Chain A
Amino acid sequence: MEILFYIAGVLAILSTVMVIAVRNAVHALLYLIVSLLSISVIFFILGAPFIAALEVIVYAGAIMVLFVFVIMMLYVDSSNSNEKNIFIKPKTWIGPSIIALILMAEMLYMLLGEGYHPMPHQIISPAAVGKLMFTKYALVVDLAGFLLTAGIVGAYHLGQKERKILHRYLTDKNENL
């Protein structure tokens, strides 16, 4: 089981790196799905089968499908945006990478500084999760419901056709687009 954890972790990291490295958005999406699946494996190993299932169903399933739809709608060409040679010129990626590395170094420093704490292998059942959610966190569930409703309404509003939303102070330079 332990070896499975490491394999899945390495796989998740590699595929996530590929997500940000590839040019083609559909490829990136597929890599992300791989990453999500391997994380789902890790969840399973950590004793959270319910979350592992949700990860696959909601994340890798529903959310990624949304992405696929949008990419299908919009994707003209992978060279659509002018980031063709993004990794050829170091100028574009070296600064952000350094920032991310510093952040990672800091977090690792504080994470690994105090020794290791082995985790007990203990499966937490969906029933326990559900019970906690609808008792202690019932209010948060309501709020999440509001958030989703707002998301739906907002997405509907923004996605309407024939709506050119320009700010009234902006010039209508893009009128002809």
Chain B
Amino acid sequence: MNIPMEYGLLLAVILFCIGLAGLLIRRNIIFMLLCIEIMLNAAGVAFVVAGAAWGQAEGQVMFIFILAMAAAEVSVGLALIIQLFKQTGSLDVTNANKMKG
């Protein structure tokens, strides 16, 4: 097997940027949360690739922490989505602009 490390990181970068683009484009807050998941996952990919390239377990450990964080973030985020839906009656994030300066 002769896969360059750069290809793995390339994949991570592409995934990350797709997630970012989605985050910026979409207005539906569920999609935005999904995009954040994509970006987190891309970061995890980068860690694992780097770990594999160096032959060390640290990358995988980091992935596990990212996983835990993603789980916590999703639980709170989804609760917030539910609240937002209750308050504004829609999932459109542009309606949640009460905190403008």
Query: In the complex, which residues of chain A have a beta carbon less than 8 angstroms from the beta carbon of B90?
Result: 80-81
In the complex, A7 has a CB within 8 A of chain B:
no
Name the residue in A17, A118, A164 with the highest tally of chain B Cβ atoms < 10 Å from its Cβ: A118
Residue pair A165, B83 in contact (C-beta under 8 Å):
yes
In the complex, A121 has a CB within 8 A of chain B:
yes
Query: In the complex, which residues of chain B have a beta carbon less than 8 angstroms from the beta carbon of A148?
Result: 68, 71-72
Query: In the complex, which residues of chain A have a beta carbon less than 8 angstroms from the beta carbon of B16?
Result: 104, 107
Partner of B34, one of A19, A39, A131, A133: A19
In the complex, B101 has a CB within 8 A of chain A:
no
- Residue total for B at the interface (Cβ-Cβ under 8 A): 75
Say how far B65's CB is from chain A's closest CB, in angstroms: 6
Query: In the complex, which residues of chain A have a beta carbon less than 8 angstroms from the beta carbon of B60?
Result: 48, 50-51, 124, 129
Residue pair B34, A67 in contact (C-beta under 8 Å):
yes
Name the residue in B25, B51, B58, B74 with the highest tally of chain A Cβ atoms < 10 Å from its Cβ: B25
The verdict on A124 contacting B34 (CB below 8 Å), with A96-B24, A119-B5 known, is no
Residue pair B24, A67 in contact (C-beta under 8 Å):
no
Residue pair A63, B34 in contact (C-beta under 8 Å):
no
Query: In the complex, which residues of chain A have a beta carbon less than 8 angstroms from the beta carbon of B61?
Result: 129, 132-133, 137
Docked complex Cα distance between A159 and B87 (Å)? 12
Query: In the complex, which residues of chain A have a beta carbon less than 8 angstroms from the beta carbon of B64?
Result: 51, 54, 129, 133
Partner of A118, one of B4, B55, B57: B4
Residue pair A43, B21 in contact (C-beta under 8 Å):
no
Residue pair B25, A174 in contact (C-beta under 8 Å):
no
Docked complex Cα distance between A165 and B49 (Å)? 43
Query: In the complex, which residues of chain B have a beta carbon less than 8 angstroms from the beta carbon of A93?
Result: 21, 25
In the complex, A88 has a CB within 8 A of chain B:
no
Contact indicator per residue, chain B 57-92, by CB within 8 Å of chain A (1) or not (0): 111110111011111111110111111011111111
Residue pair A46, B48 in contact (C-beta under 8 Å):
yes
Between-chain CB contacts (< 8 Å), 6 pairs: A13-B14, A20-B31, A28-B31, A47-B52, A119-B8, A158-B76
Using CB atoms and an 8 Å cutoff, list the residues of chain B in contact with chain A.
1-11, 13-22, 24-28, 30-31, 33-35, 37-38, 41, 45, 48-49, 51-53, 55-61, 63-65, 67-76, 78-83, 85-92, 98
Using CB atoms and an 8 Å cutoff, list the residues of chain A in contact with chain B.
1-2, 5, 9, 12-13, 16-17, 19-20, 25, 28-29, 32, 35-36, 39, 42-43, 45-48, 50-51, 54, 58-59, 62-63, 66-67, 69-71, 73-74, 80-83, 86, 92-93, 95-97, 99-101, 103-104, 107-108, 111-112, 116-122, 124, 128-129, 131-133, 137, 140, 144, 147-148, 150-152, 154-159, 163-167, 170, 174, 177
